[in-house]
Structure 1
Amino acid sequence: MTDPQPLAAAEVLDIVDERDRVVGQAPRGEAYARGLRHRCVFVLARDARGRIFVHRRTEGKLVFPSHYDMFVGGVVGAGESYDEAALREAEEELGVTGLPAPTPLFRFLYERPGQSWWSAVYEVRCDVAVSPQAEEVAWHAFLSEEELGGRLAEGSWRWVPDGLEAYERLRAYRP
C-alpha cells in the first residue's frame, strides 16, 4: 500500500488572497510549510437521527494529528470548486458513495500564526452506514448535539482548532 502522506503533501492547491481570489498554486506540503493561504471545506455530517459524525484523526495527518473533529473535509484542490470538494471529501472520509450534495452554509477566513485558509462550511445528511478511511479516521461515532456539547465542555478531547472555530461559528449562525 502507498503511504498517503507523501501523496497528500504533493497535491496541488490554489493559493488565494484575503478576498479568496486565486493568486497562484503550490503543493500542499509547501503551502503548509510556508503558511500560504488556501481553501478548505468543512462538512457537518448527520445521520438519519440527526446525530453528528465525530472522529479522531489518525496520528499521521499533516496537520492536527490525533485531534478530534466534528467535521469531515479537507483542502480544495487546484481548480476544484468548494462544492465539488465538499462532496468528494465527505464521501471519501465517510467511506460512502451517492451522498446528496452538501448544503453550503457560510464561509470564513481562518487565520492563526503560520496558518491561513478560506473555509467553506457545509452540512449533509448521511443515511447509510459509514466506513471511514483508515488513513484519515482512527475512531468515530455519531453523537447527539448534547453529547457533543458535553465533550466540548469537559475539555478532555483535543479538538482541531479550525474545526472548533467553524463549529462555534455554525452555532452562532444558527441561534
Structure 2
Amino acid sequence: MVGGPADAARDPADEILDVVDEHDTVVAQVPRGEVYARGLRHRCVFVEARDAEGRVFVHRRTPTKLVFPSLYDMFVGGVVGAGESYDDAALREAEEELGVTGLPRPVPLFTFLYDDGAGRSWWSAVYEVRCPRPVDPQAEEVAWHGFLTGEELASRVKRVEEWQWVPDGLAAYERLRALRARSSPSGD
C-alpha cells in the first residue's frame, strides 16, 4: 500500500490508483475497488526476485486477495498507487511481499499492456532484483513460498492442473522467457 502505518489499516479497495489510457497516460484517479469493478485500465509492477543462488521466488497468493486469490505467481508486485512511479512501486512491493528492507532498486526490463480479453487491462512494468538475504513474506499477501530453479519453474508452469498461475504473471513470464531466449541460449 502507498503511505504510512495509517494506510495499512485501510481497506485495499480504498487505495487511490491512477487510471490510464492505451498510451499509459493518466486520465483519472479512482479507488482500487472501483477500478476493479469497472474494469478501468491502471498500472502494475511485476518483480522477479532471485535469491543468492539465482533461484526464483515463487508463491501462492492468499485467498483474501482482491484479484487472483489462491493462485501461484512467479513475481512479487502489485498495483502502482496514484502519483507513484513504476520504479518506486517495484521497490515498495518487492520489500513488502518479500518482507525485507534495503533491497537494491529493481532493474526495469520492459513494459507491456496486459489485456485478458474479458475487459481487464493494465500497463505492466516488469523488473528483476536479487534478494540474497532470508525472506519473511507478508502474511496478508503470501500463503506459501519457495525458491525454484529456472528449470523447476518451467516444469511447474506446464503442470496447470497442480499449479494454477495468475494469468497476468504468466503473460509476463512468457514475455520474459522470450526476451532471455533471444539473448541467451538457456533463456534463464
In the alignment, which of 23, 27, 47 is matched to residue 43 of structure 1?
47
Residue 145 (structure 1) aligns with: 150
Q: Using the alignment, how far apart are the partners of 1:105 and 1:143 within structure 2?
A: 21
Q: Is 1:135 aligned to 2:140, yes or no?
A: yes
Q: Report the residue type matching 1:132 in the other structure.
A: P
**CA 1:5–1:34 in structure 2 vs 1: closer, same or farther (change >3 Å)?**
farther
CA RMSD between the two structures: 1.3
Query: Residue 22 of structure 1: CA displacement?
Result: 0.3
Give unmatched runs, 5+ long, in structure 1.
none
1:85-124 equivalences in 2 (<5 Å): 85-112=89-116, 113-124=118-129
Could you tell me the TM-score, scaled by structure 1's length? 0.96
Comparing 10-19 and 149-158, the one that deviates more: 149-158
Runs of 4+ in 1 over 6 A off after TM superposition: none
CA distance in 2, matches of 1:114, 1:29: 15
Name stretches of at least 5 consecutive residues in structure 2 with no aligned partner. 1-5, 182-188
Instruction: Tell me the residue number matched to 1:163.
Output: 169
Q: Deviations over 1:108-166 (max 9, x none)?
A: 00012121100000000001100001000000000000111111122221100000000
Q: Partner residue of 2:38?
A: 34
The percent of aligned pairs where both chains have the same amino acid is 73
Q: Partners in 2 of 1:11 and 1:169 — Cα distance?
A: 29
**Structure 2: distance between partners of 1:163 and 1:57:** 12
- Counterpart-to-counterpart distance in 2, 1:81 and 1:6: 21
